[in-house]
Each structure stands twice: as C-alpha cells, then as structure tokens.
Amino acid sequence: MFIQEAPNTNRTALSESNADIIRQTLPVIGANINNITPIFYNKMFSNHPELIADTFNRGNQRSGEQQKALAASIATFAAMLVDENAPDPVEMLSRIGHKHVSLGITEDQYQIVHDNLFAAIVEVLGDAVTPEVAGAWDEVYWLMAKVLIDFEKDLYASAGVDAGDVFIKAELKEKTQLSSRVTQYTFAGQGFDEALPGQYTSIGVKLDDGARQLRQYSLTATDAETFSIAVQQDGEVSNFLLERVNVGDTVDATLPAGDLVLDENTAPLVLVSQGIGSTPMTGMLAHLVANKDQAGRDVVVLHADATAEDYAQRDATDNLVAALAENGSATHITAYRDNNEMFDLSQMNKDGQVPAGAQWYLCGGNGFLQDIRDQLEKNKETLVPTSIHFELFSPNDWLVS
C-alpha cells in the first residue's frame, strides 16, 4: 500500500474563532497531555477491550510509548494550525497513516478515539473545558482525523482492497538463524511482490490468553510467492514467533505498508542503521541488486551494533554490497560498541567515505537516530543531504516531526 501523495494538511482549515481559543489553551493542553493520554487509553480499552486484545500493541502501551506518540501528534497538529512558524507534521501523519492501514484501522474507529479522548480531557481539566474550549479542540481533532481518514482511504485503494481488509494467512516455509538473537522467517504469501523496498508487514499471532497481537516487521525479501522478515528476541509477538511458530504453521500478515520507501534515481545513497534496523536496508539493497535501472548508483551502508556477532545481517549485507560494487561504487562500513567505535560523519566526509549530495535513509533506536540527525544538521553545508528519511523502532514520532 503506497501512494506518492502526502497527507493533505491545511494550515488555514481551522475557523478563526476557534484558532484564538486553541492559541490560548494549547499551553494548558500541552502541559497536561501526558496526563490525559493514559486516562484516555484506560477509558478506551475499558469500553472496547477488543482493541487492546486484537489491535494495539500491549508492549507499547505498557512502556507508555503509544501514549507519548498520540500526545505528540495532537499537539503538533494543533500548533501547525495556529502558528505559521510551526512545522507542518505531514511526515508524522504519513507514518501514522501507514501504521494505521497496516493494522487495518477503519474510519469508524476515529469516533471511538474521539469520545474517549474528550472524556479524558474533561476528567483532567475539569471546569476549564468550557463548551467553547471543547468545541475548538473538537474541530482540531476532526480536522486531523479527516487528513488521516482520507490518506488511509487512498492507501487502501492503492492495494485494491476495502478499508481494513489487509490481512492474509501466511504459512511459514523456512526459519534461518542469523545470530544468537535474530532469526529470518520466510512465509508463503501472495501480494508481496508489489512491496516497495523499505516497507513492512504487520504479523499477528494468537497468544495463550486469546489476544491477537500485532507487530510490524520490515520486509527483507519478497517475490510472487513468498516474503521474508527478520525477528529479534524482543516483545510478546517476536518471542511467540521464535518459541512457538514452526515450519508449516500459519500467522496473520498484512499487505505491505510504510513510507520509508527507496526513491529510484541516480543520487548517491547512504543507508544508516543500528541493530535490527538493518532489515529495511537489506530490503533496499536487494532491490538495487535486482533492479538494473539502479546499476552504477553510488551506495554507502553504515551499520552500528554492539558487536560483530550481533550484526545479524552482516553476511547478507556484505554479499549485496559486493554485488552492487560490480557495477558501481558500493561500500559497507560498521561501527561496534565493544570496540568503542561510532560514526563521525564530518570526518567520514573528509575521508571520502560519505558523499555529499546523497539521499539518507535511517533506521535504529531513538538515541542513535537523534545523533545521526544532529550530525546531518550540523554538517549540512558539507554533506548537503538532498533528503533524509526515517524509520523508528517505536512510535516516537516527535523525534522527527
């Protein structure tokens, strides 16, 4: 599921009378949003227990990451509507929209979110939520919801499916141990040959308590009959796959989604990953090797990990980079924490290891991505990145909004 068009945000969509109220109340809402969102989720899951059982990832709920992501998205969207200097959260909304279609979210669920969210706002802020204040924030919510609903409708249409109808049954065909903590899973499943390099699928498993939990995994390889993912020992779904799913078993899988998609042009390309963040990069490299139109494109792969043994896709990346190097410039550079190594992009540019004018694709932990993003900003006059694309391990959208 993919479209070239970005979500259609509009800075002037909010009515002027409500814009004044949002300007006045945004500091109060913003200061309390992290108190509001846990109450909201508790209310919603109490009223709709099927959502926490079958749709929302319980690990993200326990850690609080999902609550922070919702808080960030609403506050950022509201700020965009009332402050011409605030950033347009179009990239954040695109990521949210792709996550939603990969979970089979449908338009009717936005009403559920609305009702429980506003009940939580009233519970936290009490009499401060006058009818006028409630009406203003109601407009903000539905403006944001409409942006996402319209975008998600187009994503579903791009795959020729009805809204929410994205699940297939996928049979496990092969398990391959890549490292002590990472195993490659290859499933039989149709519709994945149209996946774009860098996209992911949601895998759903039925746990012992009856809950169907979902988690996204980047696609490392696809063809007309199969798709592959890399599973690291971490979280309910991944551990269930590693311990309980064997060749011949079936799981739920969703059609490919995700906006970290490789742009096909002739610009130099830098792929930066940490840990299991190598998975979308492996998919991109495999696409470059298979796509003759991309032959000769300069490619640099940077990967950080704890140790060489922890780098689960080291051999696969070496082989793919070697294949690309036959027709152009391709290098693979690693940094391992046990050797006290890290990436210094400024020095690497001076040494000719990292080109100027490149497209950058980043995937890894939050601290790692923050460091790479800061380095790109600090050295933008010498690195001159033409574009920077992110994928995050967790729903921390405020990092790159």
Identify whether residues 299 and 393 lie together within a single domain. Answer: yes
Please indicate, yes or no, if residue 223 is contained in any of the structural domains: yes
3-state SS class at 2: coil
- Residue 25: CATH number of its domain: 1.10.490.10
Please indicate, yes or no, if residue 311 is contained in any of the structural domains: yes
3-state SS class at 17: helix
Residue 165 confidence (pLDDT) above 70: yes
Identify whether residues 22 and 124 lie together within a single domain. Answer: yes
The count of domains in the chain is 3
Please indicate, yes or no, if residue 9 is contained in any of the structural domains: no
Q: Which domain holds residue 232?
A: 167-254
Identify whether residues 291 and 364 lie together within a single domain. Answer: yes
For the range 261-264, what are the long-range contacts, defined as Cβ-Cβ under 8 Å and sequence gap of 24 or more?
261/2, 261/196, 261/197, 261/198, 261/199, 262/196, 262/197, 262/198, 262/287, 262/288, 262/361, 263/359, 263/387, 264/291, 264/293, 264/294
As a whole number, mean pLDDT of residues 225-229 equals 94
Please indicate, yes or no, if residue 11 is contained in any of the structural domains: no
Identify whether residues 280 and 390 lie together within a single domain. Answer: yes
Identify whether residues 75 and 45 lie together within a single domain. Answer: yes
Identify whether residues 342 and 250 lie together within a single domain. Answer: no
Residue 74 confidence (pLDDT) above 90: no
Identify whether residues 333 and 215 lie together within a single domain. Answer: no
Identify whether residues 131 and 183 lie together within a single domain. Answer: no
> In the listed set 103, 123, 158, which residue is the last one of a domain according to the structure?
158
pTM: 0.88
Ranges of beta strands (E only) in 321-399 are 330-336, 359-364, 387-392
The type of residue at 208 is D
- Using CA atoms, how far apart are residues 73 and 134, in angstroms rounded to an integer? 18
Identify whether residues 237 and 182 lie together within a single domain. Answer: yes
Identify whether residues 386 and 363 lie together within a single domain. Answer: yes
Identify whether residues 359 and 282 lie together within a single domain. Answer: yes
> Is 361 a known active-site residue?
no
- Residue 324: CATH number of its domain: 3.40.50.80
Query: What digits encode the pLDDT tens for the residues 243-267?
Result: 999 999 999 999 999 998 988 888 8
pLDDT at 399: 44
pLDDT at 201: 95
As a whole number, mean pLDDT of residues 321-329 equals 88
Of the candidates 261, 260, 238, the residue with the CA atom closest to the CA atom of residue 251: 238
152, 217, 311, 361: the catalytic one is: 152
> In the listed set 103, 130, 158, which residue is the last one of a domain according to the structure?
158
Please indicate, yes or no, if residue 320 is contained in any of the structural domains: yes
As a whole number, mean pLDDT of residues 23-34 equals 87
- In angstroms and rounded to an integer, the radius of gyration of the C-alpha atoms of the chain is 22
* Mean pLDDT, all residues of the chain: 89
41, 91, 110, 391: the catalytic one is: 110
The type of residue at 314 is R
> In the listed set 215, 230, 254, which residue is the last one of a domain according to the structure?
254
- Using CA atoms, how far apart are residues 92 and 89, in angstroms rounded to an integer? 5
Please indicate, yes or no, if residue 8 is contained in any of the structural domains: no
Identify whether residues 151 and 65 lie together within a single domain. Answer: yes
Please indicate, yes or no, if residue 7 is contained in any of the structural domains: no
- Residue 231: CATH number of its domain: 2.40.30.10
Helices (H), 193-343: 236-244, 278-290, 314-325
The type of residue at 296 is G
Q: In what order do the strands lie in the sheet with 299-305?
A: 330-336, 299-305, 269-274, 359-364, 387-392
Residue 274 and residue 305 in contact, taking contact as beta carbons nearer than 8 Å? yes
As a whole number, mean pLDDT of residues 366-378 equals 93
> Is 41 a known active-site residue?
no
Dihedral of the CA atoms 96, 98, 103, 108 (nearest 10)?
A: 70
For residues 72 and 141, which has the higher predicted lDDT (pLDDT)? Answer: 141
